[in-house]
Chain A
Amino acid sequence: MRGLLYTRYELVRAVRNRRFFFFSLGFPLVFYYVIASPQRANHDFAKSGLSLPLYYMVGLIGLGTMIAMISTGARIAAERQVGWTRQLRITPLTTRDYFRAKILTAYMMSCLTILGLTIAGLTLGVHLAAGRWLGMVALILVSLAPFAALGVMLGHLLNVDAIGPATGGGASLLAFLGGTWFPLGHSGFLFELGRLLPSYWLVQAAHVGLTGHGWPARAWLTIAAWTVLLTLGAVYAFRRDTQRVA
């Protein structure tokens, strides 16, 4: 298990990178308080049956964790630019060890985001049974799998200059189409489009966790399909990148 030491130091690096740490965790929190704090008395947001602080806690957990996962790409792109990825290739570190470290770091940031927003939600009067919360967290972690692969893929496809806009823009679009900002309803173009995306089910994971109903089969299928597709993309991008002439 030689790769474990590498994973450990990757986690240490993520925590010590204060700017990354602050913006990753701080940005969803600031957003949350700005939106939800003035309307904390709204108990049925957009006829969703959920209070506004609860709806946005869940929605911003979706957006925040998504950004935490995709931002792996920015760190990979930076390491590629300075030649560190090539240095790692002349060590016995396997591709599996490498991916595991990157993905676990992303999950660690996601868990901290979930924790931070949950605490913020509690301060705005959100009530949530511990069991429900745990069920919600479990489903969120599952639905983050495709985003972990997306982060790695973008990190190996794009350079440092392109990765910022791509990650920011991509996450915003996916969050919008996933229903982070307002419910997509139960019919219509946005709903149909959203249902095809993993970000929709990420947000739904949070909702389902709250109402106590499980995910529909369609959600599992959509998440599984995106995970497979983006993992293949990540492996392809990694191989292409590491075969390329420096």
Chain B
Amino acid sequence: MEDTGAGAGISLAGLTKTFRSPEGPVHAVRGIDVEIARGQTVALLGPNGAGKSTTIDMLLGLMPPDAGTVSVFDREPRAAIDAGLVGAMLQTGALIQYLSVRELLTMVAGMFPAPAGIGEVMAQTGLVRIAGRRTQKLSGGETQRVRFAIALISNPDLLVLDEPTVAMDVESRREFWDAMRAFAARGKTVLFATHYLEEADQNADRVILMARGQVVADGPPTEIKGRVGVRTLRATLPGVEAGELAQLPGANSAERRGDAVVVVCADSDQTIRALLDRFPAASDIEITGGALEDAFLALTADEPSVA
């Protein structure tokens, strides 16, 4: 590439942020180094309080880091936003009232140097039918779609989404991710934060796993899924020692609760085959996806506590 800016992606180097609180300092982000190439779709996965939103706020220039630097296509965040290179859907936010959907998008588009067409963005986000409706009359799902449209209106090269599907129903989520993938397919860069492993797995090329303000894993979704995709197997199985069950292939640990046993598995497929093979008496078997928080805590168990 001749233009040095054309190849550069997103770079977060040594980012640190600490907040003061009545209970003492909270180390929200504790040294993050991430390079994202142009065109990648990256999920920032982590439980609540992992530092995802703080990282995104620093990436967008909404909050200055205590230490470290942010570079967006070789620019400071503010300069990248002024050039219309960045679109973002923040975690919280409602719309201002007394404007129609079309007017609101026109108003925001007017702030950018080379915005996308209003009609085009409304078509991408499924807003054409409600273009004339006042923002205060929209449902929760419609409001989210308008917020997504606002993120796309500058025709950005980087789209940042902070837990975008939290307020959406199943159908809206599916439509939302379809629209996001269509955007990414145009060679655009996308960074989205989520605490749903499935969303990260299905929609990203790469997953950055955050916990307690640090990156604890970074790789393709399948690899991350293997590391945190912990499942819990429950069965009624009297008379078998928990210790014996913990030895099953794919199992991490086991405990007994009355007649029932609970086995935490890294690979529940292997575990259940071995369980039925060795203990055919096992009944009422249930396999559930484990809480992501537990997996994160397990991954970071040797880290000093921040509390």
Residue in contact with B92 in the complex, picked from A12, A16, A83, A245, CB distance below 8 Å: A83
Closest chain B residue to A92, Cβ basis: B82
Question: Whole-angstrom distance from the CB of B145 to the nearest CB of chain A?
Answer: 15
Assembled-state Cα–Cα distance A246/B57 (Å) = 10
Q: Are A84 and B95 in contact (CB under 8 A)?
A: yes
Q: Tell me the A53-72 residues at the B interface (CB within 8 Å).
A: none
Q: A17-B98, A86-B62 in contact; A91/B93 too (CB < 8 A)?
A: no
CA distance A3 to B110 in the complex (A): 8
B107 touches A9 (CB 8 A): yes
Closest to A8 in B: B107
Whether the Cβ atoms of B98 and A16 lie closer than 8 Å is yes
C-alpha gap A9/B93 in the complex (Å)? 19
CA distance A87 to B81 in the complex (A): 12
B99 surroundings in chain A (CB, below 8 A)? 9, 12-13, 16
Nearest-Cβ distance from residue B140 to partner chain A, whole angstroms: 13
Q: Determine whether the beta carbon of B92 is less than 8 Å from that of A246.
A: yes
B88: which A residues are within 8 A, CB to CB?
Answer: 90
Are A84 and B111 in contact, CB atoms less than 8 angstroms apart? no
Chain B neighbourhood of A93, CB < 8 A = 111
B220 to chain A, nearest CB (A): 29
Q: How far is the CA of A91 from the CA of B62 in the complex (A)?
A: 11
For the complex, what is the distance from the CA of A82 to the CA of B108, rounded to whole Å? 17
The yes or no answer to B150 lying at the interface (CB within 8 A) is yes
Contact B111 A92 (CB under 8 A): yes
Q: Is B94 close to A, CB under 8 A?
A: yes
Flag if B62 contacts A92 (CB, 8 Å): no
B63 at the interface (CB under 8 A from A): yes
B110 touches A83 (CB 8 A): no
Residues of B within 8 A of A87 (CB): 90, 93, 150
Find residues 132-184 in chain B having any chain A CB closer than 8 Å to their own CB. 150, 154
Tell me whether A83 and B112 are in contact in the complex, defined as CB-CB below 8 angstroms, given that A9-B103, A9-B107 are known contacts: no
Count B interface residues, CB 8 Å.
33
Residues of A within 8 A of B93 (CB): 82-84, 86-87
Q: Is the CB of B62 within 8 A of A83?
A: no
The answer on a CB contact under 8 Å between B110 and A2 is yes
Prevailing SS type, chain B contact patch:
loop
Which chain B residues in 251-301 approach chain A with CB under 8 Å?
none
Report if B247 contacts A (CB, 8 A): no
B60 within 8 A of A: yes
Complex Cα gap A82–B99 (Å) = 15
Establish whether residues B112 and A17, one from each chain, have CB atoms under 8 Å apart when the complex forms. Answer: no
B113 within 8 A of A: yes
Q: B111–A13 contact, CB under 8 A?
A: no
Assembly CA distance A135 to B304 (angstroms)? 71
Q: Is A133 on the interface with B (CB-CB < 8 A)? A: no
Interface string of B80-122 (1 = CB under 8 A from A): 0111101010101111111100011011101111000000000
- Give A6 to B61 CA distance when docked, in angstroms: 22
Chain B residue with the shortest CB-CB distance to A82: B94
Contact with B along A90-115 (1 / 0, CB 8 A): 11110000000000000000000000
A103–B64 alpha-carbon span in the complex (Å): 28
Whether B98 and A12, one on each chain, are in contact in the complex, defined by CB atoms closer than 8 angstroms, is yes
Cβ contact within 8 Å between A91 and B81: yes
A138 at the B interface (CB under 8 A): no
Contact B150 A5 (CB under 8 A): no
Knowing A9-B99, A245-B63, say if A92 contacts B112 (CB, 8 Å): yes
A16 to B60, CA, bound (A): 32
Given the known interface contacts A6-B110, A17-B97, A84-B96, the answer about A245 and B60 at a Cβ–Cβ threshold of 8 Å is no
Does A79 belong to the interface (CB within 8 Å)?
yes
Chain B residue with the shortest CB-CB distance to A242: B62
- Which B residues lie at the A interface, using CB under 8 A? 19, 57, 60-64, 81-84, 86, 88, 90, 92-99, 103-104, 106-108, 110-113, 150, 154
A–B complex contacts, Cβ < 8 Å, 27 sampled: A2-B111, A2-B112, A2-B113, A5-B106, A9-B104, A9-B107, A12-B99, A16-B99, A17-B98, A82-B93, A82-B94, A82-B95, A82-B96, A83-B90, A84-B94, A84-B95, A86-B90, A86-B93, A87-B90, A89-B61, A89-B62, A90-B60, A90-B90, A91-B81, A91-B112, A245-B63, A246-B62
Given A79-B96, A90-B81, A91-B111, output 4 extra A-B contacts at Cβ < 8 Å. Answer: A5-B107, A5-B110, A82-B94, A90-B60
The 6 closest A-B pairs by CB, nearest first: A83-B93, A5-B110, A82-B94, A16-B98, A9-B107, A13-B98
